[in-house]
Amino acid sequence: MKKTTQLKTMLHHPELDFLIEAHNGLSARIVEQSGFKGIWASGLALSVSMGVRDNNEVSWTQILDNAEFMSDSTSVPILLDGDTGYGTFNNFRRLVRKLEQRDIAGVCIEDKLFPKTI
């Protein structure tokens, strides 16, 4: 089953399922082998794993590259934290297209300004 279909099934299922956070290919594989049905790839976890603050210091292409490693090492769906969409509508549309190419099942965004402010 496609990862997008797996995520959609989880979201519509009457039983509660859990996503657990992962930040790279190895942690994603551990999540899958631990029996979780999906992965949450948060901006915080991805940023911290690269040694920077969760304040858009990591580019969207770096997030994309890391998510691709996670996707390649697992068969469960990944829901990516897309922060604020990385700019304009066009930026977000391009991000979604690139996530689809890398078999990332979903993305969520925040209703805030880009770049993030603390």
**Cα–Cα dist 100/102, whole Å:** 5
Whether 103 is catalytic is no
Q: Sketch out the chain's domains with CATH numbers.
A: 3-9+19-108 (3.20.20.60)
**Cα–Cα dist 114/1, whole Å:** 35
Cα of 114 vs its chain's centroid, Å? 18
pTM summary value: 0.91
**Cα–Cα dist 116/118, whole Å:** 7
| pLDDT tens, the chain, 118 aa long | 999 999 999 999 999 999 999 999 999 999 999 999 999 999 999 999 999 998 888 999 999 999 999 999 999 999 999 988 888 889 999 999 999 999 999 999 987 776 666 6
Exactly one of 17, 54, 65, 83 is catalytic; name it.
54
- For tokens 């099942």, name the residue: 105
